[in-house]
Amino acid sequence: MCGVFGIRSPDRDVARIAYFGLFALQHRGQESAGIAVSDRGRITALREMGLVAQVFSEEKLRGLRGELAIGHTRYSTTGSTHWANAQPIVHNGRARTVALGHNGNLTNAAELREELAERGVRVHSTSDSEMIAALIAHDDAPLEEAVARTIAKLDGAFSCVALAENRLIAFRDPRGMRPLCLGRIGDDWVAASETCALDLVGADFVREVNRGEAVLIDGDGVTSLQAAPADGGGALCIFEFFYLARPDSRLAGVEVHSARVRMGERLAEESPVEADLVLPIPDSGTPAAIGFSRATGIPFSEGLIKNRYVGRTFIQPEQGLREQGIRLKFNPLAEVAGQRVVVIDDSIVHGNTTRQIVRMLFDAGASEVHVRISSPPVIGPCFYGIDLADEDELVAARRSIEAVRSYIGASSLHYLSLEGLTEATRRPESELCRACLTRDYPTRVPVEAAKLRFEPV
Ligand code: SF4
């Protein structure tokens, strides 16, 4: 879960535009943020732990001058939470200096690390992203060839933006597992994880970066390379559709909000219930709750109010307050008292949050709490950039649906079928990764898949 952004513009304040691009991508990672600029080939980067608005000030942005900029918001998958793993990563290599922002996760990082070590190349961070930068930076071939050769060596999920030799590079893995699109502001080019970032900076959507394609942008225009053959129909992450992407983004031509409303409508068809109110778990459950309410005629209610300012970096409360736990984030309205409520969320991963919300609604006087989930049970881990935790932490991995219902304490529980979810995305099954819902992985699964596999013991 990361967001990437890139821009080339000789006349605009590229760091400021990257800042706003990252602002639109904040939902993809709240752990760290960074921007790197290239000024006639000289790269300067600033990256810190925290939200985009916490990391950058006017003064810091003014210090980032150049014609090109890339930016990154991070949520860790491979590599732990500390500054060295914040991005963009800058790697000074034998052939060139490369700044890189990566969304995704490599499944052959251990092999790549060995290959780099054999060549005497040291990588300083524990994330797999620096290996991509290092492979390009130490390749003596011309930049296009170095990028193409690097892409051919990588396995797993990668949507990247990079700066090298005063060129902006955007590339995507052969399965297109994570989104990446191109846009234009006047004559200038922009790359971003999601179309919502293009909208915010006033760029028009041009197209998605193709699977296995590298796009190099400089003063002479755009060069496109099919660096690796596209793999079958692709494997765009279905989690992007129901959870990760912002609802105002378009993924593979599909508006995410509409897809989520369809998921809610289908959920209503598949698992109707007698109830008085439909409540979303905000904000992720909201579009599906709209769909559920429309399809059933049960009134939609805001029922649960979310505190939107609880970031990942907030100060941990003391024990007494921690027991209030979920109230840091949600508080129910009095109107739920005496009502039969249907709570809609996009997914259940660990089950703890859902369990606490169900308890909170009963405490607030709800007479029945029915839970409806707009995706199927999550039964396997993700190796491609979404931190779903290990299988033994996934509540549905080894439990029946009835056992999950009993664990969360709901009056009833239903999940959307895999078929219903897929149809709601309007993308064929052959173009999607659904592996955490089916355990049918599109790549070789890494042997040592633990998140912290490169951490010093
Ligand atoms: S395993 Fe799940 S979360 Fe990971 S890429 Fe596939 S669908 Fe997405």
How many Å lie between the centroid of ligand 1 and the Cα of residue 339? 36
Geometric angle at alpha carbon 61, from 59 and 67, rounded to 5°: 140
Number of helices followed by number of strands (H, E) in the chain: 15, 23
How many Å lie between the centroid of ligand 1 and the Cα of residue 447? 17
pLDDT at 315: 57
- Strands of the sheet containing 156-164, edge to edge, are 89-92, 97-106, 156-164, 167-172, 213-218, 221-226
How many Å lie between the centroid of ligand 1 and the Cα of residue 430? 14
Cα–Cα distance list, 44 to 73, 100, 163, 178 (Å): 17, 12, 10, 27
Confidence of residue 126 (pLDDT cuts 50, 70, 90): confident
The rounded distance, in Å, linking the Cα atoms of 168 and 29 is 22
The closest-lying atom of ligand 1 relative to the alpha carbon of residue 441 is 1
For 47, half-sphere exposure in the C-beta direction (CA atoms, 13 angstrom radius) is: 28
Nearest CA to ligand 1 atom 8: 237
What percent of the chain lies above the pLDDT cut of 90?
82
Rounded mean pLDDT of the chain? 92
How many Å lie between the centroid of ligand 1 and the Cα of residue 417? 16
How many Å lie between the centroid of ligand 1 and the Cα of residue 2? 14
pLDDT digit string, tens, across residues 270-304: 999 999 999 999 988 999 999 999 999 999 999 89
Cis peptide before 346 (omega within 30 of 0): no
Pocket test for ligand 1, best of 378, 436, 443 (most atoms within 8 A of CB): 436
pLDDT at 180: 98
Question: Picking from 155-164, 314-323, 383-392, 415-424, which range would have the lowest pLDDT averaged per residue?
Answer: 314-323
Is position 436 annotated as part of the catalytic site?
Answer: no
Task: Tell me how crowded residue 207 is: count the other CB atoms within 10 A of its CB.
Answer: 9
pLDDT at residue 448 tops 60: no
CB 189 within 8 A of CB 150: no
Judged by DSSP in three states, 196 sits in: helix
pLDDT at 99: 98
The structural domains of the chain, with segments of one domain joined by +, span 2-235, 256-309+319-429
The closest-lying atom of ligand 1 relative to the alpha carbon of residue 383 is 4
CATH superfamily of 2-235: Aminohydrolase, N-terminal nucleophile (Ntn) domain (3.60.20.10)
pLDDT at residue 55 tops 70: yes
What kind of fold does domain 256-309+319-429 have according to CATH?
Rossmann fold (3.40.50)
> What single-letter DSSP state applies at residue 203?
P
What percent of the chain lies above the pLDDT cut of 70?
93
434: left (phi over 0), alpha (psi -120 to 50) or beta: alpha
pLDDT at residue 320 tops 70: no
pLDDT at 183: 98
pLDDT at residue 119 tops 70: yes
Q: Dihedral sign for Cα 62, 63, 66, 71, please.
A: negative
Ligand 1 lining (C-beta closer than 6 Å): 177, 237-239, 382, 384, 386, 433-436
pLDDT at 452: 41
Nearest CA to ligand 1 atom 4: 382
Pocket test for ligand 1, best of 386, 390, 430, 438 (most atoms within 8 A of CB): 386
pLDDT at residue 430 tops 80: yes
> What single-letter DSSP state applies at residue 242?
I
The closest-lying atom of ligand 1 relative to the alpha carbon of residue 238 is 7
pLDDT at 107: 93
Nearest CA to ligand 1 atom 2: 436
pLDDT at 454: 42
The closest-lying atom of ligand 1 relative to the alpha carbon of residue 157 is 5
pLDDT at residue 389 tops 90: no
For 36, half-sphere exposure in the C-beta direction (CA atoms, 13 angstrom radius) is: 28
pLDDT at 457: 31
